Amino acid sequence: MELKLLRRGKVKDVYELDEERLIFIFSDRISAFDVVLPSVVPSKGHVLLKFSEFWFKYLNFPNHMLAVQEPNSMVVKKLRMIPLEFIVRGYIYGSFYERLIKGELKLDVKPILAKKLDKPFFETTTKYEEKDVPISKEEAIERGWINKEDYEFLEKVSINLYEKMYERAIKAGFILADIKFEFGKDKNGEILLADSIGPDEFRLWPIEKYEEGKLQESYDKQPVRDWLIKIGYRDRLEEARRRGEKIPEPPSLPNWLIDEIKRRYVEAYERISGEKIA
């Protein structure tokens, strides 16, 4: 039976199985700064599948996972997705750090790179756009994307899930710096945790190498972002977006970086889950 392709995302392909179920295919593609790169990372899709399976089971919050099909497929409930990304930040890093430096966030906190926040910071961003951008609670409600009750409920849920994941990561020798969650509603109106949960959705740092005020060694796709910044691609990309021009062709990743990303994804999964990647 030929399945209907509903959406080809940056790293996942979504097919319709029937009226109530979808199939996620976790690919080996990799993206950064909302751009899909021409390179692939071997076995990345398999690791992302296993990470999502582990976290959905561990967090024990209602979610859309129904079955896992090795090596890289997951059957999930079809949901009406809430068109927001729910971000929880425990540390000052990445775009959050840059926005603090520019004064775009009115927070009573000194913008020190990789500094741990006194309490997790929560915000939402847009989805399904060329570049996801922060959106306030008031604007999200005004646009009709979510109601006030659900927003406030999911703010609490997201922070609780982050804290539970943070504790698990610490025990495995990692710091979970931040994370992105997605949610949807089933046909009965119940809110379920959806999409995927893995190194494409969070920043993960080894505790033994953590040092406030410096760039961190990351067991996620941050090394790819760092390399793209170093060669000047991010600057060219942002300038093209600012001018409304076609984005520049993304570069292929060097082999050493592909191998390193694969190694870090596998190690992160095995240490956090306590299971070996077959």
Mean pLDDT, the chain, rounded, equals 95
How many Cβ atoms from other residues are within 10 Å of residue 239's Cβ? 12
How many Cβ atoms from other residues are within 10 Å of residue 192's Cβ? 19
- Which residue segments constitute the domains of the chain, with CATH numbers given? 4-77 (3.30.200.20), 80-247+267-273 (3.30.470.20)
**Residue ranges in the chain whose pLDDT is less than 50:** none
Query: 120-148: buried (b, 16+ CB within 10 Å) or exposed (e) per residue?
Result: bbbbbbbbeeeebebbebeebeeeebbee
What is the β-pairing status of strands 4-8 and 12-16? antiparallel
User: What letter would DSSP give residue 209?
Assistant: G
pLDDT tens digits for 238-257?
Answer: 999 999 999 999 999 999 99
Q: Give the per-residue pLDDT at 105.
A: 93
pLDDT tens digits for 155-195?
Answer: 999 999 999 999 999 999 999 999 999 999 999 999 999 99
For residue 73, the surrounding DSSP H or E stretch is strand 73-77
* Cα–Cα distance, 83 to 145 (Å, whole number): 6
* Cα–Cα distance, 253 to 256 (Å, whole number): 8
Q: Give the per-residue pLDDT at 22.
A: 97
**What's the N-to-C CA distance of the chain in angstroms?**
28
